[in-house]
Amino acid sequence: MKPAISIRDVAIRAEVSVGTVSNVLNRPDVVAAATRERVLAAIDDLGYVRNEPARQLRSGTARTIGLVVPDVGNPFFTDVARGVEAAASAAGHAVILCNSDESVARERGHVELLASQRVHGVLITPVQAGPVPLRQLQDRGISVVLLDHPTAEEDLCSVAVDDRHGGELAVTHLLAEGCERIVMVNGPAGIHQAAERHRGARDALRLAGRAPDVLEVLTAPALNVSCGLRAGEQLLARAVLPDAVFCANDLLALGLLQATVRAGVRVPEDLAIVGYDDIDFAAAAAVPLTSVRQPRHEIGRTAASLVIAETQSPEEHVHRHVVFTPELVVRESSRRPRRVRSAGGAAAG
């Protein structure tokens, strides 16, 4: 394998000093036009590629943003990452994507790695609602933005969605469709977003004059399709079906929908289903899925813009807590026929 072309090789080819080549790369306006063209021609001829990490290391800064999410396989985070990359790229930054895989230990390891890489900033969706290792980043002058996770902390920014309102929207809709027996398939208790969606579901029952405790909750070990499928199989094995199921995210809802198809249960006639996130797969499901929409790309773009703004003007930067309002997108999975709706759910099961 040939050795990498160095800045010294470029200087020899262009018949200039190494310092002149460095100026062409970093301060081209101070180099005479003819000399600059000669150096650029040498760079072209040799195929020289500058060692950007080394340059950033010497300057003490890296135009790089770290993004730590709990599950890169979840389309919600894929879309958020696209938004982050779009805003970062427009500002001349690269993005390092880290998957914590819903592990606190992996999350901590990623944070330590990003700190050692001297990234400009870190966007992170914590695995749990408890403390996350952010202080070591801030102590090193690395800006931090909490992503999809609200906070009252005054020394960092956050971007989130009002998940409590989203949960309320979902269950209010199901009640309006005549559903009486509603089950929520929720995620692990330590996930802040899942807990807020559950609170919102209970709010909807309370506002409708129902006892919040009538909401049955099945807790899934993870927010994925296979867990939704298992929850569906558990529900469909019952002698009497619920009227509706509200799932904490679309992946759970798609798994549940898969279980109904296998069992020959009609959606929404026998069982209405509502998901959360409104990922692209929701509209393309066998029965198009009603879902609570989050502005995924905008969440990512906003978070990236906040962290870049802080790195560019740390002294003048004012920390902000941005909270987006979700919206309900109604599709076939919860539009119950009039006769079923008027029966108040009695036909279900």
User: Which pLDDT does position 345 carry in this prediction?
Assistant: 45
DSSP 212: G
| 205-208 own/partner pairs: CB under 8 Å, 24+ apart | 205/171, 205/175, 207/168, 207/172, 208/172, 208/175
**Residue reference for tokens 């952010």:** 134
Phi-psi region at 47: left, alpha or beta (left = phi > 0; alpha = psi -120 to 50):
left
pLDDT in tens, 153-188: 788 899 999 999 999 999 999 999 999 999 999 998
Q: At residue 60, does pLDDT exceed 70? A: no
Q: Once rounded to an integer, what is the mean pLDDT over residues 92-101?
A: 94
- 29 by Cβ neighbours in 10 Å (0-12 / 13-18 / 19+) ranks as exposed
Q: Once rounded to an integer, what is the mean pLDDT over residues 75-103?
A: 94
Domain 61-160+296-324: CATH class, spelled out: alpha beta
Does residue 195 or residue 131 have the better pLDDT?
195
Confidence band, pLDDT 50/70/90 cuts, at residue 218: very high
**pTM score of the predicted model:** 0.80
Q: At residue 129, does pLDDT exceed 80? A: no
Domain 163-293: CATH class, spelled out: alpha beta
Q: Once rounded to an integer, what is the mean pLDDT over residues 259-279?
A: 97
- 285 by Cβ neighbours in 10 Å (0-12 / 13-18 / 19+) ranks as buried
Q: Once rounded to an integer, what is the mean pLDDT over residues 271-275?
A: 99
CB 220 within 8 A of CB 249: no
pLDDT in tens, 114-123: 988 888 899 9
Q: Identical fold at 61-160+296-324 and 163-293?
A: yes
Can you give the residue ranges of every domain in the chain? 7-50, 61-160+296-324, 163-293
Percentage with pLDDT > 90 across the chain: 69
Q: At residue 27, does pLDDT exceed 70? A: yes
User: Which pLDDT does position 140 carry in this prediction?
Assistant: 81
Q: Which of 104-108, 307-311, 316-320, 322-326 has the highest mean pLDDT?
A: 322-326
pLDDT in tens, 279-319: 999 999 999 999 999 999 999 999 999 999 998 887 788 99
CA distances from 255 to 9, 243, 261 (A): 58, 17, 10
Percentage with pLDDT > 70 across the chain: 91
Q: Once rounded to an integer, what is the mean pLDDT over residues 29-57?
A: 81
Provide the H-helix boundaries in 248-345: 250-263, 280-283, 296-312, 338-342
Does residue 27 or residue 228 have the better pLDDT?
228
Does residue 336 or residue 206 have the better pLDDT?
206
Phi-psi region at 155: left, alpha or beta (left = phi > 0; alpha = psi -120 to 50):
alpha
Asked if CATH classification 3.90.25.10 holds for the domain at 7-50, the reply, yes or no, is no
User: Which pLDDT does position 346 carry in this prediction?
Assistant: 42
Q: At residue 250, does pLDDT exceed 80? A: yes
